[in-house]
Amino acid sequence: MTRVALVSGGTRGIGAAIAVALKAAGYAVAANYAGNDERAKAFEAETGIPVFKWDVSSYEACVAGIAAVEAALGPIDVLVNNAGITRDAMFHKMTPGQWNEVISTNLTGLFNMTHPVWSGMRDRGFGRVINISSINGQKGQMGQANYSAAKAGDIGFTRALAQEGAAKNVTVNAICPGYIGTEMVRAVPERVMNERILPQIPVGRLGEPEEVARCVVFLASDDAGFITGSTISANGGQYFS
């Protein structure tokens, strides 16, 4: 039977690559997004993957959005918590708004998205929850106290929930990408990229969204059934944790 996968923030960047790779692997895929209708519609037209708009920082919106996805495709077997934002500032200049927005989306969003699908996964005796954290949640990054805190929290969430899901064949894992060549990272000035970022990456290049997507496809598969509570680092050797 075709398994159903939902990718939050699945219409652009890493999430889009994940959605496309899961579809190619035979899943029925839905992609969520927040507000960029133009990009979402273009992605849907190009890939045939249906898109659903809601804000992962709202629990009520997640409950309603997930109900709409399940009505269209069936119960969700694989949830990829990928939606994320940055609101960078040095801590002495960081506003409560910048802190709260990032925590609400990047950390509370995982509760909001996972809670509505969790009981169903347990009842059916199968589930995969894959959380896209970050290298900066592992090592910390100046200018990103909010983002690093949220992404480190994603790892703690992963490890706690893995213990709860294990007996029900529901695995929960995290992936920590390093610098991946999405729009966000490609917007960095060339000089900064060449002089400051690339020298930190032993493989000497940015990662590709598809390289993260392949980790997701593996963790979603039956072959990965003994892997839970783990963190896969995909960072070109930049940081070992």
Instruction: Report the interface residues with ligand NAP, using CB under 6 A.
Output: 8-9, 11-15, 32-36, 39, 55-57, 82-85, 105, 132, 134, 177, 179-180, 182-185
Q: Is 27 a catalytic residue?
A: no
For residue 177, the cross-strand partners are: 234
The closest of 200, 168, 169, 164 to 185, measured between CA atoms, is 200
Instruction: Give the CA radius of gyration of the chain.
Output: 17
Helix (H, G, I), strand (E, B) or coil at 148: helix
Cα 134 to chain centroid distance, Å, stands at: 9
Whole-number Å distance between alpha carbons of 86 and 106: 9
Which is the catalytic residue, given 27, 33, 59, 147? 147
CB 202 within 8 A of CB 7: no
For residue 176, the cross-strand partners are: 233
> How far apart, in Å, are the Cα atoms of 86 and each of 94, 150, 185?
12, 10, 11
In this structure, what DSSP letter does residue 126 have?
A: -
Whole-number Å distance between alpha carbons of 135 and 160: 20
The residues that are catalytic are 147
